[in-house]
Chains A and B, each alone.
Chain A
Amino acid sequence: QVQLQESGPGLVKPSETLSLTCTVSGSSIRSAYYWGWVRQPPGKGLEWIGTAFHSGITHYNPSLKSRVTISLHTSDNQFSLKVTSVTAADTAVYYCVRDNGRSSSDQWGQGTLITVSS
């Protein structure tokens, strides 16, 4: 059974860097899947952030690309998300996902709410 679990600070100050980690069990991040992040502002729709493959390939949302980095940590079977220079608009539930390589996320974490506020 594949499980993904997000972990992070919950509260981030404006202009700082948001850092999240996703711990994967039941599936190796060195396998033939992409690993990524999707977010959902409170009461709003889903926004794709990006994905990464163990070969080093990354794909990012063009509107976020300058502020986002997704990294895979194979020794821990984890991957991470960093978003720099955050504002209130980055307040959202952040989900880590497994992408099946066909542009669809077949496994999701439970999500973690990140609030940007001073």
Chain B
Amino acid sequence: QSALTQPASVSGSPGQPITISCTGTSSDVGTYDLVSWYQQHPGKAPKLLIYEVTKRPSGVSNRFSGSKSGNTASLTIFGLQAEDEADYYCCSHAGTPTPHLIFGGGTKLTVL
């Protein structure tokens, strides 16, 4: 099973919005509303930002927003801040050959 496709890097200036895409197939992102997003700072464990495409866990800033259209999910960060500079990973449920999860390759966000 191939990894979900994410851009290797994105950048933006403080205060601007940025969007990270995550493209899968009809066997994963396109079929299941079970896409999650994680933020990982260097040397740290990943942190859950978004689950079930659009939901935010308690304590996660509402500057983070998730969406999905067809086989592509997206993470938008509004009002970019220096502390948002990190790696971001998407993840989707997949049903075949057996239920499992697939991660994207990761996107490095640089705040200019």
Contact = CB atoms under 8 A, between A and B. Distances in A.
A14 to B, nearest CB: 25
A65 B99 CA distance: 12
A102 B47 contact: no
A62 B98 CA distance: 7
B45 A59 contact: no
A103 B36 contact: yes
A103 B93 contact: yes
B48 A62 contact: no
Interface residues on A, range: 20 to 34
Interface of B: 1, 3, 32, 34, 36, 38, 40, 45-48, 51-52, 57, 89, 91-93, 97-106
Interface of A: 38, 45-48, 50, 59-63, 65, 95, 100, 102-106, 108-111
A59 B47 contact: no
Nearest to A48: B101
Nearest to B32: A103
Contacts of A50: 100
Given A104-B36, A106-B51, A45 B103 contact: yes
B45 A95 contact: yes
A108 B47 contact: yes
Contacts of B48: 104-106
Given A45-B106, A104-B52, A111-B45, A63 B93 contact: no
A108 B45 CA distance: 7
A14 B106 CA distance: 28
B1 A59 contact: no
B100 A46 contact: no
Contacts of A102: 34, 51-52
Contacts of A48: 91, 100-103
A47 B106 CA distance: 11
Contacts of B89: 45-46
B34 A103 contact: yes
Given A45-B89, A46-B103, A63 B1 contact: yes
Contacts of B91: 46, 48, 103-104
